[in-house]
Structure 1
Amino acid sequence: MRAAYFDCFSGISGDMVLGALVDLGWPVKNLERELDKLDLFDYQIEAKKVAKRGILSTQIKISAREEKKERTLEDILSILDKSTLEEKVKERSRAIFTKLASVEAKIHGKIPQKIHFHELGGLDTIIDVVGAVAGMNYLGVEKAYSSPLPLGKGFVKCSHGILPVPAPATLELLKEVPVYGSDIEAELVTPTGAAIISSLAENFGEMPPMKIEHIGYGAGQRDLPISNLLRVSIGVIRKAY
């Protein structure tokens, strides 16, 4: 069985996931072809090699030229339904956005269908979520596992104002997921990163016994006291191991 292990020693975000998957060998051209199936406009993806604390990695930057749109869950599901993505990619992407909507609804006291996603409805978030699912599918990953997640500390600015780290949506998404505190003053786990990993990973803990075949590093956008990287290992798990 082909499996992926997400080593989130510096947290996780959507762009870090995309960077790690590209670093593992997922061609950027394939990522762009998958996103073309969504019929989205006015975005650009840049992939480049960067070194974080001496470790070579892939950094993904998404430039969306549209005005910020406050899409509803219905809007996003409609984009997915009208796309020509593989059905299993659609299904997993729907599940992630539905989970996000449920969490936002609980926090703000609304029903999921009435939630406007604010930042989470932007093109970059749609690209992160669909890209993560499509990349795992391309690389043939059947199961995903993850390390416990470091939460960081401090405050983060968003459409609702200044919020504590982790943001309420992030913490709600990580219920029943092993987490731990960190002295680093930064948002190490973003809501998008939390939604992706809590939906895709079947278990959280140590790396399972596996024969590692490939290792990818996805770089975050900031420079931190530690390497701001997500490390993803892909390999084979057999009962004999």
Structure 2
Amino acid sequence: MIRKAWFHCFSGIAGDMAFGSLVDAGADQKEIVSMLNKLELPDWTISFEKVLRCGQSGTKVNVITNETKTHRTASEITDLIKKAELPERVTKRALDTFEILAVAEGQLHDMDPADVHFHEVGAIDSIIDIVGTCAALEILSVDEVWSSPVTTGIGTTQAAHGEIPIPAPATVKLLQGAPVQGSNIPFELTTPTGAALLAAMTVGWGQMPSMKIETTGFGAGERDLDGQPNLTQVVIGETVETTKPGQPVSLLEVNVDDATGETLAHAIACCLEEGAHDAWITPIVMKKGRPAHTVSVLCSEEQIEKISKVLTSETGSLGVRSQTLHRWPAVRDFQTVEIEGHIIGVKVTSGRAKIEHDDAVRAAQALGVPLREILSRAEEAWRHE
């Protein structure tokens, strides 16, 4: 069984909101604080408060500190987390989050990620929010993180470098490739911390994935919004084991003879972003010997209308054909291995391992070695565990 957490970011997401939603969903507060106390941070306290946002109850995380230091380098934070000797998956998720944040900030400021100085994110409360979120996911035994499209605000806000646009440049950089939707709310609904957590851990975007729901929770933001609860929701459950005759899925297809490779690739990407199970392109020959392509998409019955619109609008096809199939997805187990200090995820199915590509790429770049070497070493390490 795979336990999933789906974040519903209808009012955006921040580090404290993600953290609060998991506490609200049942993550044990004493266990969380016990893990956080392993971090070598100066005097701080934390409390979890039940609040209302537009009549909906949620949990607000309050971190109090007298620290005057408001920035730390990425390497300082990495050392801090590694020294804490947290559970392996907590360490990996926290390091991944700060690493992807450092890479984004480094690209924005044209500097080495290891030398990036985190300002707001380097403060104690932000470190607590990120590590606390990872600790809460572990306590709730969450294997996979999923997310809805992420809502952002509009306008400007004050940061360490002065006034910046909303969404913040770092937030935009972190959410590249993710589905994002704007709003007319003049506040920073999604922060770099919240975006980094999703960018580092999310395995799928879109509607709630198929699962048997066990619990849900809401994490509260700092302010009240007019007419909209300033909350992030999390829904947690387990994958339902498949039994014969398998899970029914819909196969949608269009034939296209006048689209470029770039157009077809974009159509595939759009379908996957909308939550399709899979999508692919097959070369065919049509009437009069014309070369063409069939674009095929697997999706649930509930997604047929939405993905059909994507197919027709992106490919220019005049129609879509469909048929019902059945599938038997294998149950996967998530494990990790370590290569020279870099934690790499491994998905295991029926004794076969698939190395997490993004983890391997980051390790290869950091170590300055070919990607295929990291993939080989990671698989070898998994086999000897």
TM-score, normalised via structure 2 length:
0.61
Per the alignment, residue 43 of structure 1 pairs with 44
Task: Among all aligned residue pairs of Structure 1 and Structure 2, give the percentage whose two residues are the same amino acid.
Answer: 43
**Equivalent residue, structure 2, for 1:218:** 219
Shift of 1:88: 2.0
Structure 2 partner of 1:238: 240
Counterparts in 2 of 1:25 and 1:105: CA distance versus 1, 3 Å: same
Q: Which runs of 5+ in 2 are unaligned?
A: 248-385
* Partners of 1:143 and 1:111 in 2: CA distance: 30
**Which aligned pairs between 1:122-201 and structure 2 lie closer than 5 A?**
122-201=123-202
**Post-superposition offset of 1:70:** 2.2
Displacement of 1:69 in angstroms is 3.6
Cα distance, 1:69–1:56 mapped onto 2, change above 3 Å: closer
Equivalence for 1:99 = 100
Q: Partner amino acid for 1:182? A: S
Give 3-state SS (helix, strand or coil) of 2:209's partner: coil
One-letter amino acid matched to 1:233: V
| One-letter identity of the residue aligned with 2:231 | L
1:106-153 per-position Cα deviation (integer Å, ceiling 9, x unaligned): 101111122111111111111111111111011011111100011110
- State the 1:66 CA deviation: 0.8
TM-score (normalizing by structure 1): 0.97
- Deviation track 1:57-116 (CA, whole Å, cap 9, x = no partner) reads 111111121112421111111111211211221122111111111111110111112211
Q: Cα RMSD between the aligned structures?
A: 1.1
What pairs up with 1:64-79 in 2 under 5 angstroms? 64-79=65-80
Give per-residue Cα distances to partners, 1:37-76, cap 9 Å, x unaligned: 1122211112111111111111111112111242111111
Distance in 2, matches of 1:11 and 1:68, equals: 28
Q: Which residue identity does 1:227 align to in structure 2?
A: P
Q: Which amino acid aligns with 2:234?
A: V
Q: Deviation at 1:5?
A: 0.8
> Aligned partner of 1:94: which letter?
L
The Cα shift of 1:227 comes to 0.4
**Per-residue deviation, 1:35:** 0.5
Give the partner amino acid of 1:37.
K
Question: C-alpha distance in 1, partners of 2:199/2:169?
Answer: 15
Higher strand share: 2
Distance in 2 of aligned mates of 1:79 and 1:200: 20
The match for 1:4 is 5
Larger radius of gyration: 2
- SS for the counterpart of 1:85 is coil
Q: Distance in 1 between matches of 2:13 and 2:75?
A: 26
Looking at structure 2, the residues matched to 146 and 95 of structure 1 have their Cα atoms a distance apart, in angstroms, of 17
Give CA deviations for 1:141-196 in whole Å, capped at 9, x if unaligned.
11111000111101110101000000000000000000011011110100000000
Q: Which range is displaced more, 163-172 or 86-95?
A: 86-95
Aligned residue-pair number: 241
CA distance in 2, matches of 1:184, 1:239: 41
